[in-house]
Chain A
Amino acid sequence: MTTTAPDRSRVWPWIAIVVAGLVTLVAGMLVPQDAVQGQLSRILYVHVPGAWLAYLAFGVTMAASAMYLWRSTLIWDRLAASSAEIGVYFTGLTLALGMIWGKPTWGVWWTWDARLTLTAIMFFVYLGYLALRRTTDDIDARAKRSAILGVLAVVQVPLVHFSVVWWRSLHQAPTLLKPESPDMDGEMVVALLVSLAMFTLMYVAMMVKRMELARLEEQVLRAEQSDAGPVAGAAVTAPSLGEES
Protein backbone atom coordinates (compact mmCIF):
# COMPACT_ATOMS: atom_id res chain seq x y z
CA MET A 1 0.00 0.00 0.00
CA THR A 2 1.36 3.37 -0.92
CA THR A 3 0.67 6.59 0.91
CA THR A 4 0.79 10.05 -0.59
CA ALA A 5 1.85 13.22 1.17
CA PRO A 6 -1.08 15.53 2.04
CA ASP A 7 -1.61 18.24 -0.54
CA ARG A 8 -0.96 21.41 1.47
CA SER A 9 -2.04 23.67 -1.38
CA ARG A 10 -5.66 22.65 -0.69
CA VAL A 11 -5.52 24.75 2.47
CA TRP A 12 -5.18 28.04 0.56
CA PRO A 13 -8.70 28.27 -0.93
CA TRP A 14 -10.07 27.75 2.59
CA ILE A 15 -7.86 30.54 3.86
CA ALA A 16 -9.25 32.79 1.12
CA ILE A 17 -12.85 31.91 2.10
CA VAL A 18 -12.18 32.57 5.81
CA VAL A 19 -10.47 35.87 4.94
CA ALA A 20 -13.42 36.99 2.80
CA GLY A 21 -15.79 36.06 5.65
CA LEU A 22 -13.75 37.98 8.23
CA VAL A 23 -13.54 41.09 6.06
CA THR A 24 -17.32 40.97 5.54
CA LEU A 25 -17.86 40.61 9.28
CA VAL A 26 -15.50 43.42 10.28
CA ALA A 27 -16.39 45.90 7.51
CA GLY A 28 -20.08 45.08 7.28
CA MET A 29 -21.13 44.62 10.90
CA LEU A 30 -18.59 45.53 13.57
CA VAL A 31 -17.46 48.96 12.39
CA PRO A 32 -19.87 51.89 12.86
CA GLN A 33 -20.97 53.71 9.73
CA ASP A 34 -19.43 57.06 8.78
CA ALA A 35 -21.20 60.16 10.19
CA VAL A 36 -21.30 61.89 6.78
CA GLN A 37 -21.29 59.14 4.18
CA GLY A 38 -23.33 56.55 6.08
CA GLN A 39 -23.23 52.94 4.87
CA LEU A 40 -21.46 53.98 1.67
CA SER A 41 -18.21 54.36 3.60
CA ARG A 42 -18.01 50.57 4.02
CA ILE A 43 -16.72 50.34 0.43
CA LEU A 44 -13.51 51.77 1.91
CA TYR A 45 -12.69 48.43 3.58
CA VAL A 46 -12.42 46.71 0.21
CA HIS A 47 -11.43 49.66 -2.02
CA VAL A 48 -8.31 50.64 -0.02
CA PRO A 49 -7.01 47.05 0.49
CA GLY A 50 -7.64 46.43 -3.23
CA ALA A 51 -5.47 49.43 -4.12
CA TRP A 52 -2.82 48.33 -1.60
CA LEU A 53 -2.74 44.83 -3.14
CA ALA A 54 -2.35 46.34 -6.61
CA TYR A 55 0.71 48.29 -5.41
CA LEU A 56 2.09 45.22 -3.62
CA ALA A 57 1.45 42.92 -6.58
CA PHE A 58 3.09 45.23 -9.12
CA GLY A 59 6.02 45.84 -6.76
CA VAL A 60 6.50 42.06 -6.49
CA THR A 61 6.27 41.81 -10.29
CA MET A 62 9.06 44.38 -10.65
CA ALA A 63 11.30 42.73 -8.04
CA ALA A 64 10.75 39.23 -9.47
CA SER A 65 11.33 40.53 -13.03
CA ALA A 66 14.62 42.10 -11.96
CA MET A 67 15.59 38.83 -10.27
CA TYR A 68 14.77 36.91 -13.46
CA LEU A 69 16.93 39.23 -15.56
CA TRP A 70 19.77 38.68 -13.08
CA ARG A 71 19.45 34.93 -12.39
CA SER A 72 17.44 33.60 -15.40
CA THR A 73 15.57 31.20 -13.10
CA LEU A 74 12.01 30.51 -14.21
CA ILE A 75 10.56 30.59 -10.70
CA TRP A 76 11.06 34.39 -10.74
CA ASP A 77 9.16 34.59 -14.02
CA ARG A 78 6.29 32.60 -12.54
CA LEU A 79 6.28 34.85 -9.48
CA ALA A 80 6.25 38.02 -11.62
CA ALA A 81 3.48 36.81 -13.93
CA SER A 82 1.27 35.44 -11.15
CA SER A 83 1.62 38.65 -9.16
CA ALA A 84 0.83 40.81 -12.21
CA GLU A 85 -2.33 38.82 -12.90
CA ILE A 86 -3.56 39.25 -9.33
CA GLY A 87 -2.55 42.93 -9.44
CA VAL A 88 -4.63 43.51 -12.58
CA TYR A 89 -7.61 41.84 -10.92
CA PHE A 90 -7.36 44.03 -7.82
CA THR A 91 -6.75 47.20 -9.85
CA GLY A 92 -9.94 46.45 -11.78
CA LEU A 93 -11.79 45.84 -8.51
CA THR A 94 -10.47 49.11 -7.06
CA LEU A 95 -11.57 51.06 -10.14
CA ALA A 96 -15.03 49.46 -10.15
CA LEU A 97 -15.57 50.10 -6.43
CA GLY A 98 -14.31 53.68 -6.80
CA MET A 99 -16.87 54.27 -9.54
CA ILE A 100 -19.67 52.76 -7.46
CA TRP A 101 -18.66 55.07 -4.59
CA GLY A 102 -18.21 58.06 -6.92
CA LYS A 103 -21.72 58.09 -8.41
CA PRO A 104 -23.62 58.88 -5.16
CA THR A 105 -20.77 61.01 -3.73
CA TRP A 106 -19.53 63.07 -6.67
CA GLY A 107 -22.62 62.63 -8.86
CA VAL A 108 -20.71 60.96 -11.72
CA TRP A 109 -19.36 57.46 -12.36
CA TRP A 110 -16.07 58.90 -13.60
CA THR A 111 -14.27 62.18 -13.09
CA TRP A 112 -11.06 63.28 -14.82
CA ASP A 113 -9.06 63.24 -11.65
CA ALA A 114 -5.32 62.46 -11.76
CA ARG A 115 -5.59 59.48 -9.35
CA LEU A 116 -8.45 57.86 -11.27
CA THR A 117 -6.96 58.43 -14.69
CA LEU A 118 -3.49 57.20 -13.75
CA THR A 119 -4.97 54.12 -12.06
CA ALA A 120 -6.86 53.32 -15.26
CA ILE A 121 -3.64 53.79 -17.25
CA MET A 122 -1.78 51.49 -14.84
CA PHE A 123 -4.52 48.89 -15.37
CA PHE A 124 -4.00 49.02 -19.14
CA VAL A 125 -0.19 48.91 -18.90
CA TYR A 126 -0.35 45.67 -16.92
CA LEU A 127 -3.08 44.33 -19.18
CA GLY A 128 -0.50 44.86 -21.95
CA TYR A 129 2.03 42.92 -19.82
CA LEU A 130 -0.39 39.97 -19.59
CA ALA A 131 -1.16 40.19 -23.31
CA LEU A 132 2.56 40.18 -24.08
CA ARG A 133 2.93 36.86 -22.28
CA ARG A 134 0.42 35.31 -24.69
CA THR A 135 2.33 36.26 -27.84
CA THR A 136 4.86 33.45 -27.78
CA ASP A 137 5.08 29.83 -26.63
CA ASP A 138 8.85 30.08 -26.16
CA ILE A 139 9.05 30.00 -22.36
CA ASP A 140 12.49 31.62 -22.03
CA ALA A 141 11.84 34.37 -24.62
CA ARG A 142 8.49 35.12 -22.98
CA ALA A 143 10.13 35.35 -19.56
CA LYS A 144 12.87 37.71 -20.71
CA ARG A 145 10.61 40.04 -22.69
CA SER A 146 7.99 40.30 -19.98
CA ALA A 147 10.69 40.81 -17.32
CA ILE A 148 11.90 43.94 -19.14
CA LEU A 149 8.35 45.29 -19.33
CA GLY A 150 7.75 44.26 -15.70
CA VAL A 151 10.66 46.44 -14.58
CA LEU A 152 9.67 49.41 -16.76
CA ALA A 153 5.96 49.34 -15.93
CA VAL A 154 6.42 49.76 -12.17
CA VAL A 155 7.00 53.50 -12.66
CA GLN A 156 3.19 53.72 -12.75
CA VAL A 157 2.88 52.80 -9.05
CA PRO A 158 4.54 55.89 -7.48
CA LEU A 159 2.81 58.03 -10.12
CA VAL A 160 -0.58 56.72 -9.00
CA HIS A 161 0.19 56.96 -5.29
CA PHE A 162 1.63 60.48 -5.29
CA SER A 163 -0.79 61.86 -7.91
CA VAL A 164 -3.04 63.19 -5.13
CA VAL A 165 -0.06 65.11 -3.72
CA TRP A 166 1.43 66.35 -7.02
CA TRP A 167 -1.81 67.46 -8.68
CA ARG A 168 -4.94 69.17 -7.37
CA SER A 169 -7.15 66.16 -6.91
CA LEU A 170 -10.77 65.41 -6.10
CA HIS A 171 -9.65 62.08 -4.70
CA GLN A 172 -8.86 61.89 -1.00
CA ALA A 173 -5.19 62.42 -0.05
CA PRO A 174 -3.32 59.50 1.63
CA THR A 175 -4.98 58.67 4.96
CA LEU A 176 -2.74 55.95 6.40
CA LEU A 177 0.49 56.20 4.40
CA LYS A 178 1.52 59.68 5.50
CA PRO A 179 3.92 61.04 8.15
CA GLU A 180 1.20 62.42 10.46
CA SER A 181 -1.36 60.38 12.40
CA PRO A 182 -4.40 59.17 10.38
CA ASP A 183 -7.45 61.45 9.97
CA MET A 184 -9.83 58.61 10.89
CA ASP A 185 -11.68 57.38 13.90
CA GLY A 186 -9.66 54.76 15.87
CA GLU A 187 -12.21 51.97 15.30
CA MET A 188 -12.21 52.61 11.57
CA VAL A 189 -8.41 52.62 11.45
CA VAL A 190 -8.30 49.26 13.26
CA ALA A 191 -10.93 47.82 10.91
CA LEU A 192 -9.03 49.11 7.89
CA LEU A 193 -5.77 47.62 9.18
CA VAL A 194 -7.49 44.26 9.82
CA SER A 195 -8.91 44.41 6.31
CA LEU A 196 -5.46 45.21 4.87
CA ALA A 197 -3.92 42.27 6.74
CA MET A 198 -6.70 39.92 5.58
CA PHE A 199 -6.37 41.00 1.96
CA THR A 200 -2.60 40.54 2.12
CA LEU A 201 -3.15 37.00 3.37
CA MET A 202 -5.60 36.43 0.52
CA TYR A 203 -2.94 37.67 -1.91
CA VAL A 204 -0.48 35.09 -0.53
CA ALA A 205 -3.14 32.36 -0.86
CA MET A 206 -3.88 33.34 -4.46
CA MET A 207 -0.18 33.57 -5.30
CA VAL A 208 0.56 30.06 -4.02
CA LYS A 209 -2.22 28.57 -6.16
CA ARG A 210 -1.43 30.71 -9.22
CA MET A 211 2.26 29.87 -9.14
CA GLU A 212 1.47 26.18 -8.90
CA LEU A 213 -0.84 26.57 -11.90
CA ALA A 214 1.88 28.47 -13.79
CA ARG A 215 4.34 25.62 -13.12
CA LEU A 216 1.84 23.07 -14.47
CA GLU A 217 1.16 25.24 -17.55
CA GLU A 218 4.89 25.32 -18.23
CA GLN A 219 5.09 21.53 -17.95
CA VAL A 220 2.23 21.12 -20.43
CA LEU A 221 3.84 23.59 -22.83
CA ARG A 222 7.19 21.79 -22.67
CA ALA A 223 5.50 18.42 -23.18
CA GLU A 224 3.60 19.75 -26.22
CA GLN A 225 6.77 21.23 -27.68
CA SER A 226 8.75 18.02 -27.21
CA ASP A 227 5.97 16.04 -28.99
CA ALA A 228 5.44 18.59 -31.71
CA GLY A 229 8.33 17.71 -34.06
CA PRO A 230 7.65 15.33 -36.95
CA VAL A 231 9.37 11.95 -36.85
CA ALA A 232 11.86 11.29 -39.67
CA GLY A 233 10.18 9.26 -42.41
CA ALA A 234 6.68 9.79 -41.00
CA ALA A 235 5.44 10.92 -44.39
CA VAL A 236 6.41 7.58 -45.99
CA THR A 237 3.67 4.97 -45.89
CA ALA A 238 3.92 1.30 -46.66
CA PRO A 239 2.75 0.40 -50.20
CA SER A 240 -0.60 -1.33 -50.22
CA LEU A 241 -0.52 -3.82 -53.05
CA GLY A 242 -3.71 -4.88 -54.78
CA GLU A 243 -5.86 -2.04 -53.39
CA GLU A 244 -7.33 0.74 -55.45
CA SER A 245 -6.72 4.22 -54.14
Chain B
Amino acid sequence: MSVSFFGQARTVASRDLLRERRSGEVAWVTLPFGAVALLLVPIAIGTDAPTLRAVGIGMFWVVVMLFGVLVSVRRTGADSQSQKDMVSLTGIDPAASFVGSAWASSLLLIVFEVILGLLTIALYDIRIVGWAWVPLILILVAVGLGLLGTLAGGIVSTDRSAAALVPLIVAPMSVPLLIAATQAFEGLRLGHSILTWILMLVVVVLVLAIAGVLSARPLQETG
Protein backbone atom coordinates (compact mmCIF):
# COMPACT_ATOMS: atom_id res chain seq x y z
CA MET B 1 0.00 0.00 0.00
CA SER B 2 1.51 3.34 -1.03
CA VAL B 3 1.10 6.43 1.14
CA SER B 4 0.51 9.81 -0.52
CA PHE B 5 3.09 12.61 -0.38
CA PHE B 6 1.16 14.52 2.27
CA GLY B 7 0.47 11.30 4.17
CA GLN B 8 4.23 10.75 4.38
CA ALA B 9 4.80 14.37 5.41
CA ARG B 10 2.11 14.06 8.11
CA THR B 11 3.75 10.89 9.45
CA VAL B 12 7.15 12.62 9.70
CA ALA B 13 5.56 15.68 11.36
CA SER B 14 3.70 13.45 13.86
CA ARG B 15 6.93 11.64 14.69
CA ASP B 16 8.80 14.93 15.29
CA LEU B 17 5.97 16.30 17.46
CA LEU B 18 5.80 13.06 19.45
CA ARG B 19 9.54 13.26 20.10
CA GLU B 20 9.13 16.87 21.24
CA ARG B 21 6.25 15.90 23.54
CA ARG B 22 8.42 13.23 25.14
CA SER B 23 11.53 15.36 25.54
CA GLY B 24 9.94 18.82 26.03
CA GLU B 25 13.03 20.52 24.61
CA VAL B 26 11.16 23.50 23.15
CA ALA B 27 8.69 23.79 26.03
CA TRP B 28 11.21 23.51 28.88
CA VAL B 29 14.43 24.91 27.38
CA THR B 30 14.02 27.13 24.31
CA LEU B 31 10.80 28.87 25.34
CA PRO B 32 12.05 29.83 28.84
CA PHE B 33 15.32 30.93 27.25
CA GLY B 34 13.39 33.30 24.93
CA ALA B 35 11.36 34.59 27.89
CA VAL B 36 14.56 35.30 29.82
CA ALA B 37 15.86 37.28 26.81
CA LEU B 38 12.71 39.44 26.92
CA LEU B 39 13.33 40.04 30.63
CA LEU B 40 17.00 40.94 30.13
CA VAL B 41 16.40 43.68 27.55
CA PRO B 42 14.73 46.19 29.91
CA ILE B 43 17.50 45.61 32.44
CA ALA B 44 20.02 46.60 29.76
CA ILE B 45 18.21 49.53 28.10
CA GLY B 46 16.21 50.88 31.04
CA THR B 47 12.73 50.26 32.39
CA ASP B 48 11.19 53.49 31.16
CA ALA B 49 7.66 52.50 30.03
CA PRO B 50 7.44 54.66 26.83
CA THR B 51 10.85 53.35 25.66
CA LEU B 52 9.82 49.74 26.28
CA ARG B 53 6.53 50.32 24.47
CA ALA B 54 8.46 51.72 21.49
CA VAL B 55 10.96 48.84 21.23
CA GLY B 56 8.67 46.03 22.40
CA ILE B 57 7.43 44.69 19.06
CA GLY B 58 10.88 44.91 17.50
CA MET B 59 12.39 43.04 20.45
CA PHE B 60 9.70 40.38 20.18
CA TRP B 61 10.58 39.72 16.53
CA VAL B 62 14.32 39.68 17.18
CA VAL B 63 13.82 37.13 19.95
CA VAL B 64 11.53 35.07 17.70
CA MET B 65 14.11 35.07 14.87
CA LEU B 66 17.15 34.27 17.03
CA PHE B 67 15.53 31.78 19.39
CA GLY B 68 13.17 30.38 16.78
CA VAL B 69 16.22 28.99 15.00
CA LEU B 70 16.84 26.87 18.08
CA VAL B 71 13.33 25.43 17.69
CA SER B 72 14.17 24.35 14.14
CA VAL B 73 17.50 22.77 15.09
CA ARG B 74 16.30 21.13 18.31
CA ARG B 75 17.98 17.80 19.03
CA THR B 76 14.62 16.02 18.95
CA GLY B 77 14.15 17.14 15.34
CA ALA B 78 17.49 15.78 14.15
CA ASP B 79 17.94 12.19 12.98
CA SER B 80 21.01 10.11 13.72
CA GLN B 81 22.72 8.45 10.74
CA SER B 82 21.04 5.10 11.46
CA GLN B 83 17.62 6.80 11.66
CA LYS B 84 18.28 8.53 8.34
CA ASP B 85 19.23 5.20 6.78
CA MET B 86 16.07 3.62 8.17
CA VAL B 87 13.85 6.43 6.81
CA SER B 88 15.59 6.10 3.45
CA LEU B 89 14.96 2.33 3.39
CA THR B 90 11.25 2.81 4.12
CA GLY B 91 11.01 4.68 0.82
CA ILE B 92 9.76 7.97 2.26
CA ASP B 93 10.15 10.72 -0.32
CA PRO B 94 12.96 13.06 0.89
CA ALA B 95 10.81 16.04 -0.12
CA ALA B 96 7.94 14.70 2.02
CA SER B 97 10.39 14.26 4.89
CA PHE B 98 11.48 17.89 4.49
CA VAL B 99 7.88 19.13 4.39
CA GLY B 100 7.01 17.03 7.45
CA SER B 101 9.94 18.31 9.50
CA ALA B 102 9.23 21.92 8.47
CA TRP B 103 5.55 21.37 9.31
CA ALA B 104 6.41 20.19 12.85
CA SER B 105 8.85 23.07 13.36
CA SER B 106 6.28 25.58 12.12
CA LEU B 107 3.63 24.31 14.55
CA LEU B 108 6.08 24.54 17.43
CA LEU B 109 7.11 28.02 16.29
CA ILE B 110 3.48 29.20 16.25
CA VAL B 111 3.11 28.11 19.89
CA PHE B 112 6.48 29.74 20.64
CA GLU B 113 5.37 33.02 19.03
CA VAL B 114 1.99 33.10 20.78
CA ILE B 115 3.43 32.53 24.26
CA LEU B 116 6.29 35.01 23.80
CA GLY B 117 3.86 37.47 22.18
CA LEU B 118 1.57 37.41 25.20
CA LEU B 119 4.59 37.82 27.46
CA THR B 120 5.79 40.81 25.40
CA ILE B 121 2.36 42.46 25.62
CA ALA B 122 2.43 42.01 29.38
CA LEU B 123 6.04 43.03 30.02
CA TYR B 124 6.36 45.88 27.52
CA ASP B 125 2.79 47.19 27.74
CA ILE B 126 2.19 46.87 24.00
CA ARG B 127 -1.12 47.83 22.43
CA ILE B 128 -1.79 45.85 19.26
CA VAL B 129 -3.84 47.47 16.52
CA GLY B 130 -5.45 45.37 13.75
CA TRP B 131 -5.78 42.09 15.66
CA ALA B 132 -7.39 40.39 12.65
CA TRP B 133 -4.07 40.44 10.74
CA VAL B 134 -1.91 39.23 13.62
CA PRO B 135 -2.61 35.46 13.30
CA LEU B 136 -1.81 35.55 9.57
CA ILE B 137 1.51 37.36 10.16
CA LEU B 138 2.45 34.98 13.00
CA ILE B 139 1.64 31.91 10.88
CA LEU B 140 3.54 33.14 7.80
CA VAL B 141 6.64 34.02 9.85
CA ALA B 142 6.51 30.68 11.68
CA VAL B 143 6.21 28.74 8.42
CA GLY B 144 9.02 30.78 6.81
CA LEU B 145 11.32 30.31 9.79
CA GLY B 146 10.41 26.63 10.04
CA LEU B 147 11.24 26.08 6.36
CA LEU B 148 14.47 28.08 6.60
CA GLY B 149 15.63 26.29 9.75
CA THR B 150 14.79 22.85 8.35
CA LEU B 151 16.60 23.65 5.10
CA ALA B 152 19.67 24.98 6.93
CA GLY B 153 19.59 21.97 9.28
CA GLY B 154 19.56 19.67 6.24
CA ILE B 155 22.45 21.53 4.62
CA VAL B 156 24.62 21.46 7.75
CA SER B 157 23.51 17.97 8.79
CA THR B 158 26.43 17.18 11.09
CA ASP B 159 26.49 16.91 14.85
CA ARG B 160 29.93 18.47 14.86
CA SER B 161 28.88 22.09 14.56
CA ALA B 162 25.18 22.24 13.67
CA ALA B 163 24.23 24.05 16.88
CA ALA B 164 26.55 26.94 16.07
CA LEU B 165 26.46 26.95 12.29
CA VAL B 166 22.72 26.74 11.59
CA PRO B 167 22.01 30.01 13.45
CA LEU B 168 24.85 31.66 11.52
CA ILE B 169 23.20 30.64 8.23
CA VAL B 170 19.59 31.23 9.29
CA ALA B 171 19.93 34.57 11.11
CA PRO B 172 21.20 36.64 8.15
CA MET B 173 18.87 34.86 5.71
CA SER B 174 15.83 35.53 7.89
CA VAL B 175 16.16 39.28 7.31
CA PRO B 176 13.31 39.43 4.71
CA LEU B 177 11.02 37.76 7.28
CA LEU B 178 12.12 40.19 9.99
CA ILE B 179 11.64 43.24 7.75
CA ALA B 180 8.20 42.10 6.55
CA ALA B 181 6.98 41.18 10.06
CA THR B 182 8.13 44.38 11.75
CA GLN B 183 6.93 46.60 8.90
CA ALA B 184 3.54 44.87 8.87
CA PHE B 185 3.08 45.65 12.59
CA GLU B 186 4.28 49.21 12.02
CA GLY B 187 1.78 49.53 9.15
CA LEU B 188 -1.01 48.29 11.42
CA ARG B 189 -0.03 50.82 14.09
CA LEU B 190 -0.07 53.69 11.61
CA GLY B 191 -3.24 52.48 9.91
CA HIS B 192 -1.56 51.84 6.55
CA SER B 193 -2.19 48.95 4.15
CA ILE B 194 0.08 45.98 4.92
CA LEU B 195 -0.69 43.91 1.84
CA THR B 196 2.80 44.51 0.39
CA TRP B 197 4.40 43.04 3.51
CA ILE B 198 2.01 40.10 3.56
CA LEU B 199 2.85 39.48 -0.09
CA MET B 200 6.56 39.62 0.75
CA LEU B 201 6.07 37.00 3.49
CA VAL B 202 4.13 34.74 1.09
CA VAL B 203 6.85 35.05 -1.58
CA VAL B 204 9.62 34.23 0.93
CA VAL B 205 7.67 31.20 2.17
CA LEU B 206 7.10 29.95 -1.38
CA VAL B 207 10.75 30.43 -2.39
CA LEU B 208 11.94 28.58 0.72
CA ALA B 209 9.42 25.77 0.19
CA ILE B 210 10.52 25.29 -3.44
CA ALA B 211 14.22 25.45 -2.50
CA GLY B 212 13.70 22.92 0.30
CA VAL B 213 11.71 20.47 -1.82
CA LEU B 214 14.18 20.67 -4.74
CA SER B 215 17.25 20.23 -2.53
CA ALA B 216 15.81 17.43 -0.36
CA ARG B 217 16.98 14.55 -2.57
CA PRO B 218 20.55 15.82 -3.19
CA LEU B 219 20.86 16.44 0.56
CA GLN B 220 19.63 12.95 1.40
CA GLU B 221 22.30 11.51 -0.91
CA THR B 222 25.02 13.24 1.14
CA GLY B 223 23.96 11.23 4.19
Contact = CB atoms under 8 A, between A and B. Distances in A.
A152 B172 CA distance: 12
Interface string B151-170: 10001111011100100110
A152 B211 contact: yes
A144 B219 CA distance: 7
A132 B156 contact: yes
Interface residues of A, number: 22
Nearest to B173: A125
A125 B172 contact: yes
A144 B221 CA distance: 9
B175 A136 contact: no
A144 B217 CA distance: 11
Nearest to B159: A135
A122 to B, nearest CB: 8
Interface string A131-146: 1101110101100110
Contacts of B169: 125, 128, 132, 149
A75 interface: no
A69 B172 contact: no
B156 A124 contact: no
Interface residues of B, number: 22
Nearest to A69: B218
Contacts, number: 57
B223 interface: yes
Contact of A135 (B161, B171, B172): B161
Interface in B135-151: 151
A135 B160 contact: yes
Contacts of B172: 121-122, 124-125, 128
A44 interface: no
Interface in A109-124: 118, 121-122, 124
A102 to B, nearest CB: 21
B124 to A, nearest CB: 22
Nearest to A124: B172
Contacts of A125: 169, 172-173
Interface of A: 69, 118, 121-122, 124-125, 127-128, 131-132, 134-136, 138, 140-141, 144-145, 148-149, 152-153
The 3 lowest CB-CB distance pairs between A and B, nearest first, are: A141-B222, A128-B169, A128-B168
